[in-house]
Chain A
Amino acid sequence: MSRSVSTWSYRPGEWLAIFGAATTLLLPESEKQRAAQLWELVDGGAGFDATLDQVLAPGLSVLPAFVLIGTGEGPTKVIVRGAGVLASLTTDVETVELDGSTVTTWVERSLEGVTALSVSVGGAGADGPDHLIEGGLVRVARIDLPPYAAPGDLEPLAPGSGTDEAATELFSLEESSPLDDEADTSSVSHPGLDPMPDDPATQDGQDHDDADVVWAADAPAVSPMAPPPPFAGAPDPTPVSGDHDGMTRGGGFEDEVGPTPPGIPGQPQAPSITRPVATLVISGGESVEVDRVVLIGRAPEARRFTADEQPRLVTVPSPLHEISSTHIEVRPGSGVDHGSAVVTDLGSTNGTVLVQPGLDPEELQRGVAVQLIPGAIISLGDGVTIQVMNP
């Protein structure tokens, strides 16, 4: 993990909180599907503005409440919307309280030198115990940065007696009671995630439902491929039954179907534009940053992207036509490849050879993404090579 990660604490509740590298987003419990869609963006390290764009994409009127926090470079930014939504920012000189119920749109503050940040969204669980989290999607009633540590309510955060036991127990699959929760059939629970704090409420295994972990990941130790976020309705293709006109009626099918994720079917969706994970130096001398999908070929075409994640098209000379029109794709990796660039041969006619440092040359298989190590050389044909460097 090359990125710096903030450790928050959260109290289990009803709202959905997505903790990313640069932003943290809280949505009401009714916004489960939206949270699933935004998880990939936020988890991919998207910045404050990019996340806000996507949060507001369906319109402000359909989102009664939310909280967006930017903890990336520069001042800390907080947006609060909705009744009962409170945020508190503390700096060395002042404490600022934001109340989302006082306005019809939202309250925004941007502050330098924030030393403590707390958001509470009310609802059940407001007095519950606090857990640590670095990244992931959980249900919360309150979040704190740095982790909440009030006298009398203090959780033993350091590994202590029983910690390992509690963590193992909480995440063992057979005990994974969040999966039994009918309201949460799409929940995913994983072994080997962030160590959970020693929590008396969960230690005995009686109160797993309260923990209500939807999906928490991003610990360096995670090795299995990250599953995609739950995508409500995708397996249920009966959105506008009987409506052969394809008309969008009443509540609309958005709530039931969700848009098809763009990109190559069967592959995880590319994260949107992030900070560069690698620089490609092409043999002609051109240098290209991999902060989004990069398509390289003789006359590359970009297929099926959204308005705000336009791929970079890089044309390379190929007088002998050994290079296909859209030969390879290089993009920031997702899931286990997060933080690295991955290369995929897009079905080129003459193939692609990859030489990774210390490894034998390998021929890329069509459609199979391979993680790139700095120093790797990609050879397309017609003498065109691409060197992979650190950004």
Chain B
Amino acid sequence: MRGRSGEIGTCGEQAGQPLVRPATQLVGERPETTRRRHPSYAIGTVHAVVPRVTGVELHHGAASDVGLVREVNEDAFLVAPPVFVVADGMGGHDRGDIAAAIVVEEFRRLADEGYDPARGPAVVAATLLACQARIADYDAGQRAQGARDFHAGTTAVVALLIEQSGEPKWLLANLGDSRVYKFNHGRLEQVSVDHSLVQELLDAGTITRSDAAVHPERHVITRALGGSGSTEADFFVLPLSAAERLVLCSDGVSGMIDDRTIEGILAAADDPRDAADQVVAAAVAAGGRDNATAVVVDVVGLVAETPYDSERQRVSLEKKLGALP
């Protein structure tokens, strides 16, 4: 089943259909169940790429947890400055974890090979198309092996640095209900607009925001990678000054704890690694009904000489973990 809160074992029943999980049996390649109680830190490793967007110092942290209910973590994330991604794979029996991993791989390639910062939206759109094509190939391969109606799918939320009129800016893109928030002067604001049924009902004025949180169809999304639905992402451009801190997260976070809780954690945690860790921990503590993933990115400032220092971050992390004196 899709890594979505409270949905395990219920989605088919509510529809009056038997719960179908053909792929595991047919394909038989689901990995050993991994259940991490402690979210992992992601250590910044890649920083020497995209020389054209330099001078911006980014610190980041990331955490992901399978949650208390799911057996597999189908969320995936990428921290490869200046590219950051969270993907929430859908439909466990259809291997949403593969779809999410494909998204991360494609954007890692973008970060590794570099991109033209003046053509941000086109670059991201092309990368999403490549993801879509690879997921379709994967689907086709699974179907060829006998998995009928096989559809892997995933959300994607992306943040990367671009340039406009010679200025570095954040380009954000989303597909599905994984979110990106900005945090500035102690205030958290959701930037992305969910591609979900409840968001459409909200926009239409049919339901209120409090209805949305408990709406029975709140996990139905209207755009995603994979499948035959729309794969057109929404894009956003923010000046760096508009967001001291960005938060990318899966709905295992935003569906479990409200924005005010996230805001409180972000305000209290100076280090983005602590912030990501605590946000995910709070989502798990609130019930952990879904895989929970958060990536937190801080714009430290516009610096001319020293680029992002992953070494410093690694050393300070190892100190934190007690590996160094």
Q: A interface vs B, CB < 8 Å?
A: 57-58, 62, 237, 239-254, 257-260, 262, 265, 299-308, 310-311, 313, 315, 325
Contacts and interface: CB of A to CB of B under 8 A. Distances in A.
B222 interface: yes
Contacts of B176: 246
A57 B195 CA distance: 18
A250 B149 contact: yes
B25 interface: no
Given A260-B199, A306-B234, A247 B228 contact: no
Nearest to A54: B232
Contacts of B230: 58, 254, 258-259
Q: Which 4 A-B pairs have the closest CB atoms?
A: A242-B15, A248-B227, A252-B228, A307-B125
B221 A246 contact: yes
B233 A307 contact: yes
Interface string B105-148: 00000000000000001101100000000000000000000000
9 contacts: A237-B206, A244-B7, A246-B224, A247-B151, A248-B224, A303-B191, A308-B121, A313-B169, A315-B165
Contacts of B222: 239, 253, 257, 259-260
A239 B94 contact: no
Contacts of B238: 301
At the interface, is chain A mostly helix, strand, loop or mixed?
A: loop
A304 to B, nearest CB: 5
Contacts of A254: 228-230
A260 B195 contact: yes
Nearest to A262: B234
Interface in B210-243: 216-217, 219-224, 226-230, 232-239, 241-242
A239 B197 contact: yes
A302 B235 contact: yes
B225 to A, nearest CB: 9
Contacts of A253: 222, 229
* Most interface-central of A300, A303, A308, A315 (chain B CB within 10 A): A303
B14 interface: yes
Contacts of B4: 244-246
Given A252-B227, A307-B232, 20 more contacts: A237-B197, A237-B200, A239-B220, A245-B2, A245-B91, A246-B177, A246-B196, A246-B220, A246-B221, A254-B228, A254-B229, A257-B200, A260-B195, A260-B203, A301-B236, A301-B237, A301-B239, A302-B236, A307-B233, A308-B125
B157 interface: no
Contacts of B2: 245-247
A304 B235 contact: yes
A259 to B, nearest CB: 4
A300 B237 CA distance: 8
Given A246-B2, A247-B94, A310 B235 contact: yes
B64 to A, nearest CB: 19
A292 to B, nearest CB: 12
B234 A248 contact: no
A245 B234 contact: no
B16 interface: yes
A254 B230 CA distance: 6
B71 to A, nearest CB: 15
B17 interface: yes
The CB with the most chain B CB atoms within 10 A, among A244, A299, A305, A315, is that of: A244
B14 A244 contact: yes
B149 to A, nearest CB: 6
B244 to A, nearest CB: 13
Contacts of A249: 149, 151, 227
A151 to B, nearest CB: 49
**Residue among B7, B193, B228 having the largest count of chain A Cβ atoms under 10 Å:** B228
B42 interface: no
Given A57-B232, A245-B91, A310-B121, A304 B193 contact: yes
Nearest to A303: B236
Given A246-B2, A299-B239, A299-B242, A240 B220 contact: yes
B48 interface: no
A310 B171 CA distance: 11
B203 A265 contact: yes
B50 interface: no
B201 interface: yes
B45 interface: no
Most A-side CB within 10 Å, residue of B165, B195, B197, B229: B229
B24 to A, nearest CB: 15
B265 interface: no
A323 B206 CA distance: 34
B58 interface: no
Name the residue among B94, B221, B235 with the largest chain A CB count within 10 angstroms.
B235
Interface string B175-195: 011000000000000010101
Interface string B1-15: 110100100111011
Contacts of A245: 1-2, 4, 7, 11, 90-91, 219
Given A259-B223, A301-B242, A248 B200 contact: no
Contacts of A262: 234
Nearest to B196: A246
B232 A251 contact: no
A168 to B, nearest CB: 36
Contact of A243 (B125, B220, B242): B220
Nearest to B238: A301
Contacts of B94: 247
Contacts of A325: 239, 242
Nearest to B121: A307
A313 B237 contact: yes
B261 interface: no
Contacts of A237: 197, 200-201, 206, 217
B153 interface: yes
Which of B10, B14, B122, B234 has the most chain A CB atoms closer than 10 A to its own CB? B234
Contacts of B177: 246
